[in-house]
Amino acid sequence: MSYLSMTNHGITRGPHEHREQTDCFCFIGRFRLYLWDNRDTSPTYGEHKIIDTSDIPTIAIVPPGIVHAYKNIGSSHGLVINLPDRLYGGWGKTEPADEIRYEDDPESPFKIGD
């Protein structure tokens, strides 16, 4: 599965995480990538990282259990290509989507700062 999306300046997508899916993002434009390690068996459990991309296309691989979000911090539209290793909803969309969404949860510890 793969998809291309356009994100307008100032728009944030996420945060969310996957239990089994790995995302392979290619950011084309200036983005801020937010990452939280939510894997309780990881030595970096609970750590939060923020990575800013440049105008050079940037690839980020996000494994299962890493809560992630991104924001377009450029002055124009940005493109994101995602090459996840699973189909959304499985073959024929017969399975539940492998995602835990946090963006609408006011109690979520995963907050996007400016």
66 with 17: CB under 8 angstroms? yes
Please give the CATH superfamily to which domain 3-101 belongs: Jelly Rolls (2.60.120.10)
Q: Is pLDDT larger for residue 22 or for residue 88?
A: 22
Q: Which residues of 4-23 are buried (b: 16+ CB within 10 A; e: fewer)?
A: eeebeeeebbbbbbbeebeb
The model carries a pTM of 0.92
pLDDT at 113: 76
- Residue 91's pLDDT is 87
The whole-number pLDDT of residue 6 equals 97
Token pair, residue 92, equals: 């024929």
79-113 pLDDT per residue, tens: 999 999 988 888 888 988 899 999 999 999 999 97
Residue spans of the domains in the chain: they are: 3-101
pLDDT tens digits, one per residue of 31-87: 999 999 999 999 999 999 999 999 899 999 999 999 999 999 999 999 999 999 988
